[in-house]
Amino acid sequence: MKSYLKISAAAAVLIALGACASQPEAPPPVEPAPPVEQPAPPPPPPPPPVAEQPTGPVPGSLDDFRVNVGERVYFDLNEYRLDSDDQEILKLQAAWLQSYPAVRIMVAGNCDERGTREYNLALGERRASVVKDYLVSLGVDPSRIDTISYGKERPIAAGSDENAWALNRNGFTQIVSGTTS
Amino acid sequence: MTRLLLALVMAFTAAIGLAPTASAELKVLVEGSGNFQPTPLAIPDFEVRGGTNTDLARQIADVVRNDLESTGLFEMQNPASFIQKDLSIDVQPRFADWKIIKTDGLVVGAFEELPDGKIAVSFRLWDVYAGEVMRINGQPGRRLTTTPDNWRRIAHKIADSIYTRLTGEDPYFDSRIVYIAETGPKLNRVKRLAIMDSDGANQQYLTPGTNTVLTPRFSPSAQEITYMSYEGGRPRVYLFNIETGRQELLGNFPGMTFAPRFSRDGESVLLTQAEHGNSDLYIMNLQTRQSRRLTDHPAIDTSPSMSPDGRSIVFTSDRGGSPQLYIMNTDGSPRTCPSGGRDVACRITFNKGQYSTPVWSPRGDLVAFTKQLGGKFYIGVIGTDGTGERLLTEAYLDEGPDWSPNGRVIVYFRESRPGAGPQLWSVDLSGRNERRLQTQTEASDPAWSPLLE
């Protein structure tokens, strides 16, 4: 709606400019002014300045975390190191968690299907632990973070190809409690 | 328990076929050579002597035939080719009639319904070319009784007797397989503990599927399973009693516990605990409930399996950079490694690829494993000194071997191609006889029971 109004306004200006350019003669006589109308009631006051976007997630909510922070980091094949992309996401997670100190999280370590079950359980535990340690290094209280390994038991992509495997090798920060809604 | 009450074995008093043992007795070699040929056996339907239940008599013979054929060592002769129709367990067969259709071994059985409601099956095994009965435990035949609902056990015991008599190997048909029954879409899988007879009959679900359960393993000495469950949202190792359905948390470990396996004497459970991201091996005594840490290494150590003599443990570790198999002494003392030097854990896999899920053979000489190499998975075996690696199977995913009680057959699960659901398979140690085990649902993580009592 907003953008529509903007476009209309811009069009009006262009038309006005065009009129100026092509019609230098004197304007025709104006019609009599319309009767004065009652002014509309003033609009409600704007919301308090908390950077709230009327259509975005409520701050401190699950959606806020999911949309504005990011809940998963992705690992390379057979790896549990955090690359710079992962670290950026975890920095956002840590800052968010500092803003909402009542929130508790469970970090799940996940693996792709191209490993054996028991080794993957161990590898998932390593991945979850690496994520937890990084968040703790950024100041998040370790008592707020639990970890769990699902090995290859909780894929998020159903395919059996490189893309699906890459998505399924992840550390998943799940909010357990303490959100605002 | 009454179900499992299987009757005694009674010797025949009839004195037939007592001729001295011929020099060229029928003998089936399980290893076979390059031009392996299965041994032709004839097992006609059993004669119904008491009662009228010909269907049951035929079903019992069917199970015997199916068990023996599933080994890949025997070929069942087509009944349409049989010449002699008047077989009786009390009379010597006309060997010429069986030689002419090139039968090496002949099984003659009789079925009876007893006055007390039980059933009895008697059988004799004949060596057609030697022209004499093959004695079983010194007797010229066997007679087994049980309740009618337990008839399959009689059939498996008969098949076991014949298999053992002809191959010299220990029996394994009269046993069960526990596994994980899988249903639902890949992204929301339901996993239940399930059990069936070794031939796939009598499938039952033991857990409702509310919690994901993984990696069941049979006790070698009790009707008990150890497995991992996500009960209460925490992955931990449990004991499960098959007869009572009772589940019990094993130990009080602060971290995740997984990859359990009974020791060979059934008195302990080996498992893995992960704490602060690091997985190490533990052993817990089931009597005292005392646990002892076996490894303390920053690498992943998991999937422990004990040697039959209890002295050594084979396990998976990535301490060398990738998952490989290692052997340690159960008491933690250093050992002399086959690759040289002394260490608390000796690596035994040095070929290309990743190795995991080692399981020590009940005979003690081999370790079965899963190998991953070049986008494929393999089930293989290797000597405990790291020599003689042999790959038995290959697929998109072949994983999780476990041994039959006699150490001749390996059961595992397979995803035959990308996106295919898991199914149970078995393969003979020769690698010759790969077979699918039918299950009602998709299935994984099979584990073999010991021979039933």
Instruction: Categorize the per-residue pLDDT at A36 as very low, low, confident or very high, splitting at 50, 70 and 90.
Output: low
Taking the C-alpha atoms of residue A81 and residue A87, their distance in angstroms, rounded to an integer, is 10
ipTM of the shown complex: 0.92
| Closest residue to A119, CB basis, from B255, B277, B316 | B316
- In order, the DSSP letters of B143-205 are EEEE-GGGHHHHHHHHHHHHHHHHH-PPP-SS-EEEEEEEES-GGG-EEEEEEEETTS-S-EE
pLDDT (tens digit, 9 = 90+) per residue, B210-243?
Answer: 999 999 999 998 889 999 999 999 999 999 999 9
Mean pLDDT across the stretch B292-315?
98
Is the pLDDT score of B79 beyond 80?
A: yes
Q: What are the Cα distances from residue A104, in Å, to A69, A99, A126, A179, B325? A: 15, 12, 20, 9, 39
Taking the C-alpha atoms of residue B42 and residue B241, their distance in angstroms, rounded to an integer, is 40
**Which residues are paired to B133 by β-bridges?**
B126
- Between chains, do A119 and B323 touch, taking CB under 8 Å as contact? yes
pLDDT (tens digit, 9 = 90+) per residue, B280-299?
Answer: 999 999 999 999 999 999 99
DSSP class of residue B134 equals P
| Closest residue to A122, CB basis, from B187, B191, B272 | B272
pLDDT at B224: 96
- Residue written as token pair 């993580």: B445
pLDDT at B1: 36
Q: Which of A75, A113, A125 to mutate to test the interface with B (most CBs of B within 10 A)?
A: A125
Taking the C-alpha atoms of residue B67 and residue B76, their distance in angstroms, rounded to an integer, is 11
pLDDT (tens digit, 9 = 90+) per residue, A63-121?
Answer: 999 999 999 999 999 999 999 999 999 999 999 999 999 999 999 999 999 999 999 99
Q: Which residues of B touch A161 (CB under 8 A)?
A: 418
| Closest residue to A149, CB basis, from B233, B256, B356 | B256
Q: Which of B261, B276, B282, B359 to mutate to test the interface with A (most CBs of A within 10 A)?
A: B276
Closest CA to B41 of B136, B140, B137, B109: B109
Average pLDDT, chain B: 93
DSSP class of residue A69 equals I
Q: Does B416 touch chain A (CB under 8 A)?
A: no
Q: What is the pTM of this model?
A: 0.87
Query: Which residues of A have a CB under 8 Å from any CB of B?
Result: 78, 113-119, 121-123, 125-126, 128-130, 132-133, 147-149, 153, 155-156, 158-161
Q: Which of A79, A111, A116, A161 to mutate to test the interface with B (most CBs of B within 10 A)?
A: A116
Q: Does B298 touch chain A (CB under 8 A)?
A: no
Contacts of B64 (CB under 8 A, 6+ apart): B43, B107, B109, B155, B158, B159, B162
Q: Which residues of B touch A156 (CB under 8 A)?
A: 187
| Closest residue to B300, CB basis, from A122, A153, A159 | A122
In Å, how far is A103's CA from the nearest CA of chain B?
19
Q: Which residues of B touch A147 (CB under 8 A)?
A: 277
- Between chains, do A116 and B185 touch, taking CB under 8 Å as contact? no
pLDDT (tens digit, 9 = 90+) per residue, B24-35?
Answer: 788 887 776 667
Under a CB-based contact definition with an 8 Å cutoff, are residues B442 and B185 in contact? Answer: no
Q: Does B356 touch chain A (CB under 8 A)?
A: yes
Is the pLDDT score of A6 beyond 50?
A: no
pLDDT (tens digit, 9 = 90+) per residue, B126-150?
Answer: 999 999 999 999 999 999 999 999 9
The continuous run of DSSP H or E covering A176 comes out as strand A170-177
Under a CB-based contact definition with an 8 Å cutoff, are residues A171 and A127 in contact? Answer: yes
- Residue written as token pair 């008093």: B13
Taking the C-alpha atoms of residue B207 and residue B203, their distance in angstroms, rounded to an integer, is 13
Q: Which residues of B touch A153 (CB under 8 A)?
A: 189, 191, 212, 214
pLDDT (tens digit, 9 = 90+) per residue, B162-198?
Answer: 999 999 999 999 999 999 999 999 999 999 999 999 9
pLDDT at A37: 60
pLDDT (tens digit, 9 = 90+) per residue, B360-405?
Answer: 999 999 999 999 999 999 999 999 999 999 999 999 999 999 999 9
Contacts of A87 (CB under 8 A, 6+ apart): A134
Under a CB-based contact definition with an 8 Å cutoff, are residues B79 and B87 in contact? Answer: no
